[in-house]
Amino acid sequence: MSEEVLNFINGQWVATKGKGEKLVRKDPGNGDEICHMRQSDNADVDAAVAAAKAAFADWKKVPRPERAKLILNSVEIVRRRKEEIAQLMTREMGKPIAEARGDVQEAIDMAYYIAAEGRRGWGWQIPSELPNKRMYTMRQPLGVCALITPWNFPIAIPSWKSYPALVMGNTCVFKPAEDTTLLGKRWTEILHESGFPKGVFNMVVGHGAPIGDRLVTHPDVAMVSFTGSTTTGLAIAAKTAPLNKRLSLEMGGKNPVVIMDDADLELALHAVLWCSFGTSGQRCTACSRVIVHEKVHDKFVKMLADHAGRLKVGHGSDPASFFGAIVNEKQLAKIDGYVQIGLKEGARLECGGKVLKDGAYAKGNYYAATVFSNVRPDMRIAQEEIFGPVLSVIKVKDYEEAIRVANHVAYGLSTSFFSRDVNLCHRASEELESGLCYINAGTTGAEVSTPFGGWKNTGNGHREGGPTVIDAFSEIKTVIIDYSGKVQKAQIDNN
Ligand code: UN1
């Protein structure tokens, strides 16, 4: 019998109030059962929001550095449990063990970063144009925040959202992805053990479809933070806009690496392999388009196909695996569907292009590292997010065309540019349209203290990560104190 996951509401592990369908999560790499749960319903969402709302009254009064101390408590637990959680991650969602450790490390880094931000002023003192008058700003919490997180960074992304929300004095209802619910439970256990008061952090589990609407439109939810697909994110935006809720979205990507004719090709090759096939291409930041200058195109395609075709695909627990299983069968079918579309569109398959089924692969969802050349910028495989180990190579004649093609997508999360020409690198960093722009490095691997998020259909202007995450999870209040004892009229008395 696998481990059961319950909801966590008001400091208690509780069963759903409804009759929810039983859901079972299996290791996508070998089919072993990982955990089971019951689908939550709207009454569970209501209970979690009510607990978070009640807890907010006291939690918002706790001094921010005191809240930060609880985050530092949690980091001790995460560090102690790092290996065990990383091992679970390789089994629950399939990423290789080294990357799983990195995922947990990202939460550790985030804890230190946000605990320190908890001691920062986060306001300005502003000189008044009138005498005996003081003006300053302060940050205040929003209230109940709904945190909806994906399966691809099952500890890191919950940490990006929970820590800043909590340090700023908000309370939370967390809805982890249904594919990584056991890791969601681990995350909630850690915060509970750290000493956050009851009701401050709550978790509701199951598929989003039956409960998502209630969570994002609940009158007592002040803010929704969502990382996931553009389709779901935009649906949430449509539902929350008439209610004027704060919404922070981080959605899809179609991230390019541009390789100029003077680039260090060996460096570019290894960067492309890592940022395209690491995590089986299942990162919002993963590269899915390589835009190569015609002078080095044929050589680079050959290098890429030779190496990509030999990448070891295997269970995440095998340290030799370069990448692991695809998260679920639906995603595997979607990836293969896009490969068929690419073939029909006339792209040339350089390597991969198939589901792996033989031997040890038989029990899991594995896909070969796939490289297409002869891809035109308008093909669907060059426009739509595939979220798998599928890379499209596009040939361009010069810098201008490279930038045009790179920007010619509906997304703008991460871009990358390889060249030895320092002037061109600076130009590219200005002209590429994305929230993150890497020079002579691949598209993945953002650090916690940098603003993270994207342009166009990737986001809606918020940046989680870095100091900007505080903006997403707080309100600004400007305080004006007139100690002149007179009625002073701004813009009038002093002019
Ligand atoms: C994501 O795929 O949504 O920058 C997050 C990176 C990681 C986070 C990716 N630190 O690749």
Pairing of strands 7-9, 12-14: antiparallel
| Domain match, 191 and 310 both | no
DSSP 152: S
Whether residue 445 has its Cβ less than 6 Å from ligand 1: yes
Whether residue 286 has its Cβ less than 6 Å from ligand 1: no
Q: What three-state secondary structure class fits 334? A: helix
The mean pLDDT value for 453-469 works out to 97
In a domain, 451, yes or no: no
| Domain match, 355 and 421 both | yes
Residue percentage of the chain with pLDDT more than 70 = 100
Return all residues near 365 (Cβ < 8 A) that are at least 6 apart. 28, 29, 94, 325, 326, 327, 328, 329, 331, 332
Q: Does residue 170 register a pLDDT over 90?
A: yes
Degrees to nearest 5, angle at CA 52 with 48 and 53: 115
| Domain match, 342 and 372 both | yes
In a domain, 454, yes or no: no
φ, ψ of residue 372 to 5 degrees: the values are: -110, 135
The protein residue whose alpha carbon is closest to atom 7 in ligand 1 is 445
Whether residue 444 has its Cβ less than 6 Å from ligand 1: yes
What pLDDT band is residue 351 in, cutting at 50, 70 and 90? very high
The mean pLDDT value for 417-440 works out to 98
SS3 annotation, 421-483: CHHHHHHHHHHCCCCEEEECCCCCCCCCCCCECCEECCECCCCECCCCHHHHCCEEEEEEEEC
CATH code, domain carrying 279: 3.40.309.10
Q: Which of 169, 227, 170, 166 is nearest to 191 (CA)?
A: 166
Cα 444 to ligand 1 centroid, rounded to whole Å: 6
Whether residue 153 has its Cβ less than 6 Å from ligand 1: yes
Degrees to nearest 5, angle at CA 109 with 105 and 112: 140
pTM value?
Answer: 0.98
Report CA torsion sign: 280, 283, 289, 295. negative
In a domain, 484, yes or no: no
Q: Return d(Cα 178, Cα 34) in angstroms, integer.
A: 12
Q: What three-state secondary structure class fits 365? A: coil
What pLDDT band is residue 454 in, cutting at 50, 70 and 90? very high
| 201-250 tens-digit pLDDT | 999 999 999 999 999 999 999 999 999 999 999 999 999 999 999 999 99
Residue percentage of the chain with pLDDT more than 90 = 99
The protein residue whose alpha carbon is closest to atom 6 in ligand 1 is 445
CATH code, domain carrying 51: 3.40.605.10
Q: Return d(Cα 38, Cα 11) in angstroms, integer.
A: 19
What pLDDT band is residue 44 in, cutting at 50, 70 and 90? very high
Whether residue 275 has its Cβ less than 6 Å from ligand 1: no
Cα 441 to ligand 1 centroid, rounded to whole Å: 14
| Domain match, 207 and 303 both | no
Cα 22 to ligand 1 centroid, rounded to whole Å: 31
| Domain match, 295 and 169 both | no
The tally of domains found in the chain comes to 2
| 250-281 tens-digit pLDDT | 999 999 999 999 999 999 999 999 999 999 99
Distances (CA, A) of 400 to 298, 363, 418: 20, 47, 14
In a domain, 141, yes or no: yes
Whether residue 446 has its Cβ less than 6 Å from ligand 1: yes
Q: Which of 483, 398, 495, 434 is nearest to 129 (CA)?
A: 495
Beta-carbon neighbour count of residue 113 at 10 Å?
A: 22
Cα 255 to ligand 1 centroid, rounded to whole Å: 12
Cα 414 to ligand 1 centroid, rounded to whole Å: 10
Contact between 284 and 253 (Cβ < 8 Å): yes
Residue 446 CA: which ligand 1 atom is closest?
Answer: 4
In a domain, 489, yes or no: no
For residue 114, what are the domain limits?
3-251+459-478
What pLDDT band is residue 364 in, cutting at 50, 70 and 90? very high
Residue 106 CA: which ligand 1 atom is closest?
Answer: 10
In a domain, 383, yes or no: yes
Best mutation site among 282, 443, 452, 458 for ligand 1 pocket (most ligand atoms within 8 Å of CB): 452
Q: What three-state secondary structure class fits 184? A: helix
| Domain match, 151 and 170 both | yes
Cα 488 to ligand 1 centroid, rounded to whole Å: 51
E strand segments, 149-198: 171-175
Q: Which of 20, 19, 24 is nearest to 3 (CA)?
A: 24
In a domain, 128, yes or no: yes
| Domain match, 341 and 467 both | no
| Domain match, 120 and 264 both | no
Q: Which residue has the higher pLDDT, 494 or 300?
A: 300
What pLDDT band is residue 134 in, cutting at 50, 70 and 90? very high
What integer pLDDT is reported at residue 225 of this predicted model? Answer: 98
What pLDDT band is residue 183 in, cutting at 50, 70 and 90? very high
What pLDDT band is residue 142 in, cutting at 50, 70 and 90? very high
What integer pLDDT is reported at residue 237 of this predicted model? Answer: 98
Gap between the terminal Cα atoms of the chain:
78
Burial class, 71, CB count within 10 angstroms (exposed 0-12 / middle 13-18 / buried 19+): buried
What pLDDT band is residue 152 in, cutting at 50, 70 and 90? very high
Residue 444 CA: which ligand 1 atom is closest?
Answer: 11
What pLDDT band is residue 405 in, cutting at 50, 70 and 90? very high
Q: Which structure tokens are listed for 378?
A: 């308008």
Q: Return d(Cα 393, Cα 380) in angstroms, integer.
A: 13
Whether residue 255 has its Cβ less than 6 Å from ligand 1: no
Active site residues: 250, 284
| Domain match, 172 and 271 both | no
Cα 445 to ligand 1 centroid, rounded to whole Å: 6
Q: Does residue 312 register a pLDDT over 90?
A: yes
Q: What is the mean pLDDT of the chain?
A: 98
Best mutation site among 226, 285, 436 for ligand 1 pocket (most ligand atoms within 8 Å of CB): 285
| Domain match, 268 and 246 both | no
Best mutation site among 232, 279, 284 for ligand 1 pocket (most ligand atoms within 8 Å of CB): 284
Q: Does residue 121 register a pLDDT over 90?
A: no
Cα 286 to ligand 1 centroid, rounded to whole Å: 8
| Domain match, 113 and 25 both | yes
What integer pLDDT is reported at residue 1 of this predicted model? Answer: 83
In a domain, 214, yes or no: yes
Residue 150 CA: which ligand 1 atom is closest?
Answer: 3
Q: Return d(Cα 146, Cα 236) in angstroms, integer.
A: 12
| Domain match, 238 and 302 both | no
Best mutation site among 149, 151, 444, 463 for ligand 1 pocket (most ligand atoms within 8 Å of CB): 444
